[in-house]
Amino acid sequence: MTQNYENLPKDSFERIARDTVQAEKISKPSVSFWQDAWRSLKKNKGAIVSLVLFGFIVIMALIGPILSPYEPNAQTITHANLPPKIPVVENLGIFNGEGKLGGKTVDLYEMKNVDQYYWFGTDGLGRDMFARVWKGTQVSLFIAFVAAAIDMVIGVIYGGISGYFGGRIDDVMQRIVEILTGIPNLVVVILFILIMDPGILAIIIALTITGWTGMSRVVRGQVLKYKNQEFVLAARTLGASDSRIIWKHLMPNVLGVIIINTMFTIPGAIFFEAFLSFIGLGLQAPDASLGTLINDGYKLIQYQPHILLFPAVVLSLIMIAFNLIGDGLRDALDPKMKD
Amino acid sequence: MARYIGKRLIYMFITLALIATFTFFLMKVLPGSPIASADKLSPEQRAVVEARYGLDQPLPVQYFNYMFGLLQGDLGISINQFKGADVTDVILSRMGPSAQIGFQGMVLGTFLGILFGMVAALRQNTWVDYTSTIVAIIGISIPSFVFASLLQYWFGLKWDLFPVALWKDGFMSSVLPSIALAMFPLATAARFIRTEMIEVLGSDYITLAKAKGASGSEIAFKHAFRNALIPLVTVLGPMAVSILTGSLVVEQIFAIPGIGEQFVKSIMVNDFSIIMGTTMFFSVFLIAIILIVDILYGVIDPRIRLSGGKN
């Protein structure tokens, strides 16, 4: 690189006329906020794998109980406590229907004269675990989604009104929220379950009774941040109504935070439902959720570990997937937000 | 600061009064008489027993007696499990094991979590970092009761390293439950410290320390770690909540004679006075912890302006 640039011949350069059109030209197509978010989410391997995994679990929760030839609550006492047996896989030496009986490994299916395959085995009442696990997943997901949706609606409306109108309304509304958030979640949930008949509805109400406060705080903070910015002022100057400003100008900006928050509410709800079922405040037999199945399985952990295995694995996978998707979405939608 | 603490104390009081009122009326509404085998008693006997426990008085008087008792730490009388025993005594007698596993779990979890988070931040994007992240995700995601059952199955039943259950071998009995409770604090602390450390390591004063010629370990411990540690105080509250929630199931699984196990048992047999008393106890405990954490944060980090009300 010792060339002497001064000695380059002048005619090797050519003057280009200034073109004002070119200067303003955007060479790449413009990327919207959501396209950009999707792009960075796609780069996050954990989130994408989780998304696929979660999709699979949802599909199984919907069609699993139908795939199984058995009803989730149908009891066949003669087929009780069978270990898992899956066609094809059984040839590999696992899930081949063999279990320990009096210290010896025997084919329990042969012993009990069972020709059918129970993919996840059966429980103590001879109910098909495959159908029960997916039915339970369905119930758990249903509770979590409904609870999260209710939290979201109440939280967004409450936080939105509180933040947008401000002043005295905000003061009163925030004092109420401060008292409500002071009550520990665990205490509220347990007290509400005690008054109501245990069941899906009771769990959903207990989860949402104070669950929305987190969302309302986040939404209020965001609305406060945006409502005094120039674009809102411009819209107001042009005569936009309150509802137009809220829906057209503020909502799109707050949406990212709402989605992130909901993504973290759902695993929380799934956990609480399973937790309540585990301590005996959840669904009542014969209805099953992942929590009640784990509770049943736990009691037989020493002799029939497979009854605990499948619901515990499904529950753990859902929780991991949701946390990873939530993390990914948070990074994609708002790189600056930390918690 | 004093004004802030005063305001928070007032809120705390209102919240507790609300919970207590709710609890009181719940006990009145729920079915079942506080007197054992009430049907078999003659009206006269019944009147004597009711007078003994103040149940013959009008509802508002009972309410004020109850609230006044609460102020003095009296949580009422057990209905069907411990006939006539003070709920406060029942709870206090079971404090020991719960406090021990809770404390051990918290300390173990926080300590390991800080260690994991720090190593992950210093060796960012290496296998150490990825392992630590995976551990953290698993710790946050897997519910404590699933984790506790696994620990019990492998370490207790299969490998026979620790007692399977019960509270008979002193410290050895507390190992598995403590580990089960430690998972959430561990994961939370690891994630938190990692994020904070990475942010701190990118700040100007670290560059200055490097320029000045400080060694790697000096930067890591003296400059980065100390500043990353401060915000950890904010997650102590959620950690305490998780330990308490977890203790309900973990004590149940390992058959530990603690408050949580008693609580779950009381739910099964509908002993409302114990349920309500324990609920009040939990409320006071959690609300106090969150208040202490908030105040502590203001004391440790002067940059936080408490009186301004950041929310």
pLDDT tens column, A37-71: 888 888 888 888 888 998 988 888 888 777 777 77
Q: A48-84: string of b/e by CB count within 10 Å (b at 16+)?
A: eebbebbeebeebbeebbeebebebeebbeebebbbb
Task: Work out the average pLDDT over A107-111.
Answer: 65
Percent of chain A with pLDDT over 90: 4
Q: What's the pLDDT score for residue A3?
A: 64
Percent of chain B with pLDDT over 70: 86
Is a pLDDT exceeding 60 seen at residue B304? no
Among A106-110, A183-187, A240-244, where is mean pLDDT lowest?
A106-110
The answer to whether B309 faces chain A, any CB pair under 8 Å, is no
Residue B307: pLDDT band with limits 50, 70, 90: very low
Residue A109: pLDDT band with limits 50, 70, 90: low
Q: Which residues of A touch B252 (CB under 8 A)?
A: 278-279
Query: Using one digit for the tens of pLDDT, what is the confidence trace for B132-174?
Result: 888 888 888 888 888 888 888 777 777 776 676 677 766 667 7
Q: What's the pLDDT score for residue B310?
A: 41
Task: Work out the average pLDDT over B235-252.
Answer: 82
Minimum Cα–Cα distance from B156: chain A residue: A302
Is a pLDDT exceeding 70 seen at residue A110? no
Contact B284, A184 (CB under 8 A): no
Interface pTM (ipTM) of the complex? 0.75
Residue type, A270: I
Of B14, B23, B268, the CB nearest to A179: B14
Q: Of A143 and A187, which is predicted with more confidence?
A: A143
3-state helix, strand, coil in chain A (%, to 5): 70, 5, 30
Q: Of A87 and B139, which is predicted with more confidence?
A: B139
Task: Work out the average pLDDT over A182-187.
Answer: 75
Residue A153: pLDDT band with limits 50, 70, 90: very high
Q: What's the pLDDT score for residue B122?
A: 82
Q: Of B179 and A33, which is predicted with more confidence?
A: B179
Percent of chain B with pLDDT over 90: 0
Contacts of B164 (CB under 8 A, 6+ apart): B152, B156, B157
For residue A238, give how far its alpha carbon lies from the nearest alpha carbon of chain B (Å).
Answer: 31
Q: What's the pLDDT score for residue A107?
A: 67
Q: What's the pLDDT score for residue A86?
A: 66
Contact B216, B222 (CB under 8 A): no
Q: Which two tokens stand for residue B189?
A: 């602390």
Q: Which residues of B touch A280 (CB under 8 A)?
A: 264, 267-268
CA–CA dist B73, B260 (Å, integer): 19
Give how far Cα A37 sits from Cα of A66, A71, A328, A333, B164, Å: 36, 43, 10, 5, 48
CA–CA dist A134, A132 (Å, integer): 6
Q: Do A275 and B245 touch (CB under 8 A)?
A: yes
Q: Of B144 and A87, which is predicted with more confidence?
A: B144
Among A47-51, A88-92, B231-235, where is mean pLDDT lowest?
A88-92
CA–CA dist B279, B263 (Å, integer): 9
Mutate to test the interface with B, among A194, A266, A338 (most CBs of B within 10 A): A194
Residue B311: pLDDT band with limits 50, 70, 90: very low
Is B197 exposed, middle or buried (CB count within 10 Å of its CB: 0-12, 13-18, 19+)?
A: buried
Of B19, B141, B245, the CB nearest to A323: B141
3-state helix, strand, coil in chain B (%, to 5): 75, 0, 25
Task: Work out the average pLDDT over A121-127.
Answer: 70
Is a pLDDT exceeding 80 seen at residue B32? no
Residue B309: pLDDT band with limits 50, 70, 90: very low
**HSE toward the beta carbon, residue B264, CA cutoff 13 A:** 24
Is a pLDDT exceeding 50 seen at residue B308? no
pTM above 0.90, yes or no: no
Query: Using one digit for the tens of pLDDT, what is the confidence trace for B101-142?
Result: 888 888 898 888 888 888 888 887 788 888 888 888 888 888
Minimum Cα–Cα distance from B28: chain A residue: A195
CA–CA dist B187, B141 (Å, integer): 9
Q: Do B142 and A316 touch (CB under 8 A)?
A: yes
Q: Do A183 and B157 touch (CB under 8 A)?
A: no
Minimum Cα–Cα distance from B311: chain A residue: A221
Is a pLDDT exceeding 90 seen at residue A149? yes
Residue A13 per-residue DSSP state: -
Q: Which residues of B touch A182 (CB under 8 A)?
A: 11-12, 14-15, 287, 290
Average pLDDT, chain B: 78
User: For residue B238, is the peptide bond before it cis, meaning its omega torsion is within 30 degrees of 0?
Assistant: no
Is a pLDDT exceeding 90 seen at residue A154? yes
Q: Which two tokens stand for residue B298?
A: 């203001």
* 3-state secondary structure string across B83-144: CCCEHHHHHHHCHHHHHHHHHHHHHHHHHHHHHHHHHHHHCCCCHHHHHHHHHHHHHHHCCH
Of B22, B146, B195, the CB nearest to A294: B146
Q: What's the pLDDT score for residue B306?
A: 47
Residue A150: pLDDT band with limits 50, 70, 90: very high
Residue B45: pLDDT band with limits 50, 70, 90: confident
Of B29, B142, B264, the CB nearest to A280: B264
Percent of chain A with pLDDT over 70: 81
Residue type, B78: S
Mutate to test the interface with B, among A174, A179, A186, A220 (most CBs of B within 10 A): A186
Q: Of A167 and B38, which is predicted with more confidence?
A: A167
Q: A254-272: string of b/e by CB count within 10 Å (b at 16+)?
A: bebbbbbbbbbbbbbbbbb
Q: Which residues of B touch A191 (CB under 8 A)?
A: 22-23, 26, 279
Task: Work out the average pLDDT over B9-34.
Answer: 77
Of A182, A191, A275, the CB nearest to B15: A182
Selection from A95-109, A307-321, B149-163 with the highest mean pLDDT: A307-321
Of B141, B241, B275, the CB nearest to A194: B275
Residue A173: pLDDT band with limits 50, 70, 90: confident
